[in-house]
Amino acid sequence: MTDVATDSAPDLGVARARRSRNTRALLLAPAMLILLVAATGPLLIVLVYSFLTPGDYGGVVWEFSTKAWMNVVVERDFFSGELQLADAHLSVLWRSVKLSILTMILAFLFGFPTAYFIATRPRGQRDVWMLLIMIPFWTNLLIRTFAIMELIRNQGTLNTVLIWLGVIEQPIQMLFTEFSLLLGMTYVYLPLMILPIYASMERLDFSLVEAAYDLYATRLEVLRKVIFPLVKPGVVAGSILVFVPCLGAYVTPRVLGGGKQLMLGNLIELQFGQLRNWPLGAALSLTLLVLVTVALLFYVRTIGREGERHV
C-alpha cells in the first residue's frame, strides 16, 4: 500500500499541475478573446492607419506615409513651405496635460480631506457618506455637465445670485474658459480620487495616529509623517484614476469649452470628422495612449517600490 502511494504521488502531482494549467487557460480564454477582438485589434488598425495617407473624403488611402506622425508636432507652412511647430496641436496637447494635472491636484485637495472625514466617521455612517459621493456617479455624464453649464453661464445661477447680492455688476465669463473645464472635470472625477484614498484610509490603524500624537507630533506632523505615507498608495491610485480620463476627456471640454477650449479628445474627433484626416487622428490617439502609459508606468513603479509592504 505504502509503495503504491509513494510511487503514484509524484504522478498525481504532475497531473494535477497539468490539469490546473489547462483550467487556468480555459478560465482566462473569454477575457483574452474580448481583449484581443475589442482592444488589441482596433488598436492595431489605429496603428496601421497612422502610417497611411488620408483620403479626400475621409478614410485612408493605402499608401505608406509618416506625414501624420510628423504633423503631430510640426506642420508645413501653407505659403512658404517651411516646417514649423504645429502650434495648434501642441497648444491642445499642452492644455490637456496642464488641465489634467491641475484637475488631479484639485481633486486631491478636495478629495483627501473628504476621504479622511468619511474614514473617521463611526462605521455605520461611512456607507451613507460613500453613497452620497457615489450618487452623482449614477447620473449621466452629459446631464451633469449641462448642470454645471447652467450654474456658471452668464445668465446662470451663480452670476444671477452674485449680481442680485451686488457683489458684481456684470456677469463673470466663466463658461467656455479653462476655468470651466477645470471645474467640470474636478466635479466629474472627484469620486475617483475619494474612493481609493478612502479605501486605504479605512484600513489605516488609527491607533497609529494616537501614537503619533502621544509622541509629541502636532496635527500637521501627524498628517505628514504618519497618515500621508501610509495612505500614499491610495493617493497615487486616485491621482492616476483622475489623470488618465482627464487626458482623454471629450464630453466636458466639448460642452463647457464650447469649441474654444479644445482638449486632445476633441482634437482627435475633429480629425476624424470635419477635417477628414484619419491618419493624423490615429497618430494623435496613439500619442494620447503613450501619455497614459507613461502615467501608468509611474504608478506601477511608485506602488511597486513602497506600496506593497504596508497596505
Partner 1 sequence: MVALVVGQMIELESLTKTFGTGSEVFTALDDVSITINSNEFFTLLGPSGCGKTTILRVIAGFIDPTRGKVSLDGGDLLTSPPYERPVNTVFQSYALFPHMTVAQNIAFGLEMLRKSQKEVAETVKEMLALVRMTEMADRKTDQISGGQQQRVALARALAPRPKVLLLDEPLSALDFKLRKDMQLELKRLQHETGITFIFVTHDQDEALTMSDRVAVMNAGQIRQIGSPRDIYIRPVERFVADFIGDTNFLPVDLLGTTGDAARVRLASGTEVEAQAARGMQAAGGTVTMAVRPEHATLEPPEGAMMSGQLANVVYVGTDTHYHVELAEGGRFVIRRQNSPGQTQDWQEGQQVGLAFAPGVGQVLRD
The site for partner 1 (CB under 8 A) is made up of 205, 207-208, 210-218, 221, 225-226, 229-230, 306, 309-310
CB of residue 124 to partner 1, shortest distance in Å: 15
Q: Which is nearer to partner 1, 125 or 218 (CB)?
A: 218
CB of residue 300 to partner 1, shortest distance in Å: 19
Q: Which is nearer to partner 1, 209 or 295 (CB)?
A: 209
CB of residue 218 to partner 1, shortest distance in Å: 6
Q: Which is nearer to partner 1, 1 or 309 (CB)?
A: 309
Q: Which is nearer to partner 1, 181 or 230 (CB)?
A: 230
Q: Which is nearer to partner 1, 127 or 210 (CB)?
A: 210
CB of residue 306 to partner 1, shortest distance in Å: 8
CB of residue 119 to partner 1, shortest distance in Å: 17
Do the beta carbons of residue 50 and residue 72 sit within 8 Å? no
